[in-house]
Structure formats: C-alpha cells, structure tokens
Amino acid sequence: MIKVGDTLPAATLMEFSEVEGNGCSLGPNPVDVAKATAGKTIALFALPGAFTPTCSAKHVPGYVEKFPELKAAGVDEIWCVSVNDAFVMGAWARDQNTGSKVRMLADGSADFAKATGLTLDLTARGMGLRSNRYSMLIKDGKVANLNVEAPGKFEVSDAATLLAQAKA
C-alpha cells in the first residue's frame, strides 16, 4: 500500500468535460496524474462509488463545502477519484454541484486503485473491485498525508480531517 513520502504511481485518470474550453475537448479527457500533480498541492479523496449513500450524502458535499478553506490552506485542487467511468463521474458532478470546486476523476478499470494498493473487493455485493475510502494530501506528486478508512467507516477521510492536515 502507498504510504506517506511515496510518489504517486504513474496513472491516467479520465475527466468528463461539460463544455469546451481552455483547450479541453468535450467528453472524457485523460488526466496524467504525474503531470497534473507536479508543483501543486492536491487534496485527493477516493471512494467506492458514485451515487452511493455515504459518498453522495457526506463525502463529496463535505469537500464542496470546505473548498474555500482548503484553498486558503494552500490546496490548489480537490480531486474525487472513484472506480466509475468518466460519463458517470460527469453525471455525478452535475448531481452534486461540484462545479469548478472538485474535479471528479474516473478510475474506470481501477488501475490507480490497484497501483496505490487501496482496492476494496465488493464482488460479493455485485460491485466488483473498487477503491477503498481514503483521503490524501499530495504535494508535488508525493503523499504528504494519508487517511485510510476501516471497512464500512467514514471517520478519517472527510474534508475536515484533510483541512486540518493542510493547515498543519
């Protein structure tokens, strides 16, 4: 499993763009993790799935709400990563009103989850291999803080915890 001090694994996530602009084409666009984190502080949180109860009711809304405080604490971008396709993540972004506050990034084949060692096998529940619920503060492509949830819990990957770490 990835740990504090490690460099993020080489991976490409996908992001759905609603409108064309800033050189982005419509539809899913690749996000090279190494390039996108270089020289930046990223508040990344990952979760088992879009539109799932805890994720939709607590996890994403918390980061949307704490956006101004995270920015003030030096966070350049907030990323939500889930093992879903980019179209689902785009629809969830609209549903959650994430706007330009939270980048909703798809890890469709769980490649990023596997590379970090943070997978969650929900095959018995009909959901296949997913991402564990966690948050991490990333500074210039390296893990500065990592908060991994115990199974079925939502106690340490919330926006308030990561905000406190960003302020430290």
Residue numbers annotated as active site: 55
Query: Hey, which residues does 120 pair with through a beta bridge?
Result: 130
- Helices marked H in the chain — which ranges? 33-37, 53-54, 60-65, 67-72, 86-96, 111-116, 159-167
> What DSSP state is assigned to residue 84?
S
d(CA 133, CA 130): 9
| Element spanning 77, H or E | strand 77-82
Of 155, 123, 164, 143, the C-alpha closest to 59 is 155
User: How many degrees, rounded to 5, is the angle at CA 57 between CA 96 and CA 106?
Assistant: 50
d(CA 66, CA 74): 13
